[in-house]
Structure 1
Amino acid sequence: MRDVDGPMVEHEVHVEADPALVWELVTDIELPARFSPELQRVRWLDGADRPSLGARFEGHNHNQVLGEWCTVSHVVELDVPRVFAWAVVDPDGRYGENAADPQAPMATWRFDLVPEVGGARLRHAVRLGPARSGLHLAIDRMPEQEEAIVRHRLADLRTGIQDTLHGIKALAEQPR
């Protein structure tokens, strides 16, 4: 897979808990930082304190290869209590021009929640691009290795997604 293909990774779990509780957890933007190997901290911007269409939040990330970087995310889809999606942009233009446009983000993340017997099916996914990101720095240096670089990045993201989902599942299924 190449970068221009809009590479995507997703994972899902069944959570044995009230879907309302699961929704509460997935819309807590600070929660993934507890489980993600990359996301370090998050905070709402512009006085927001919960998801709403257009609301923004800042994320601080760290990766051994990419170093540290800051992003701004825009809530682009919100269908309570089923879909929470946000577009991630590069507010500093670190990776290229016009990098702060949520219509052409570095990545789009989402949670999809579907009520099921005994709980809910929770899916977490990310689609990379179309804007430049840290992935492009590696591809620029080694264009002949693009497919391997994209595969490696997707594997890292898959690990983070799985860790986040399993963390949410564990929290939601704790005895109350």
Structure 2
Amino acid sequence: MTNTELENTAPGNTPLFQVSAEAHVTASPNEVYATVSDLPRSGEWSVECTGGQWISGTPATVGAVFRGENHRPEEVVAWAPVVRGDWTTESEIVEAEPGRVIRWAIRDRAGRRQESVWSFEIRPADHGCVLVHQFRMGRPTEGIRGITADMDPAERQRFFSDWTAKLTEDITATVQRIKQVIEKN
């Protein structure tokens, strides 16, 4: 399958994936930002990221690079040829405004940013703030191209549907876990 054929699975400018979840957190926007921008702590709340380390740049600033350590069990979308077990990713911070937003793009093997962007956005609210966790993938990443390379159109459609459901569950669990971590302190 060519890149053009895969890109045509998402007509126009429609992203392949776009999911978000939010939670009200009883803490200040700056407290929430200090927690979620500390990406090595991700293992405390993420479904797949077990932690990691900053490998270049000033942590949590635009241009900094984080190497995430991840784990995915065998049963996750078990029929699809996705990465299982342990693996790493590299992400580059593309936006960082304390108390408001941190956004990072997953890099490909050559170190280029892909249209695979995760973020935490924070807005003030009564008695704390609202934390919004988002994921958006525009054009397919090298990983998605590899996963779907041998799929027929029906299998690709099934994969995108199943993976969207998985992402939605993960992102929802993540914001709830962050809320618990912050409010426990």
Tell me the TM-score range normalised by the shorter chain: 0.7 to 0.9
Q: How large is the RMSD of aligned CA atoms in angstroms?
A: 2.1
Q: Any gaps of 5 or more consecutive residues in structure 1?
A: 92-98
Counterpart residue type for residue 78 of structure 1 = A
Residue 137 (structure 1) aligned with residue 154 (structure 2): no
Asked if residue 107 in structure 1 is aligned to residue 124 in structure 2, the reply is no
Q: What is the TM-score of this pair, normalised by structure 1?
A: 0.83
SS in 2 for 1:37: coil
Q: Which amino acid aligns with 2:29?
A: P
2:40–2:54: 8 Å Cα contact kept in structure 1? no
Q: Specify the alignment match of 1:43 in structure 2.
A: 53
Q: Which amino acid aligns with 2:99?
A: P
* Cα displacement (A) at 1:146: 1.5
Matched position secondary structure for 2:174: helix
Q: Which residue does the alignment assign to 2:20?
A: 10
Cα deviation for residue 86 of structure 1 reads 0.4
Q: 1:72 aligns with which of 62, 65, 90?
A: 90
2:149 partner SS: helix
Correspondence 1:149 to 2:159: yes
Q: How many residues align?
A: 165
Cα deviation, residue 25, structure 1: 1.0
Q: Percent identity?
A: 29
Deviation per CA, 1:1-41: give whole Å up to 9, x if none.
94563221111111122222111111110222222232122
Counterpart CA distance in 2 for 1:36 and 1:83 is: 18
Match of 2:131 among 122, 129, 133: 122
Which one of 67, 81, 94 corresponds to residue 58 of structure 1?
67
Q: Per the alignment, in what secondary structure is the counterpart of residue 63 of structure 2?
A: coil
Write the letter of the residue equivalent to 1:23: Y
2:77 equivalent in structure 1: none
Q: Which runs of 5+ in 2 are unaligned?
A: 1-7, 75-81
TM-score scaled by length of structure 2: 0.79
Offset of 1:56 from its aligned partner?
A: 0.7
Q: 2:173 aligns with which of 150, 163, 167?
A: 163
CA distance in 1, matches of 2:44, 2:37: 14
> What is the CA distance between 1:74 and its match in structure 2?
0.6
Amino acid in structure 2 at the alignment position of 1:141: D
Deviation of 1:129 (Å):
4.0
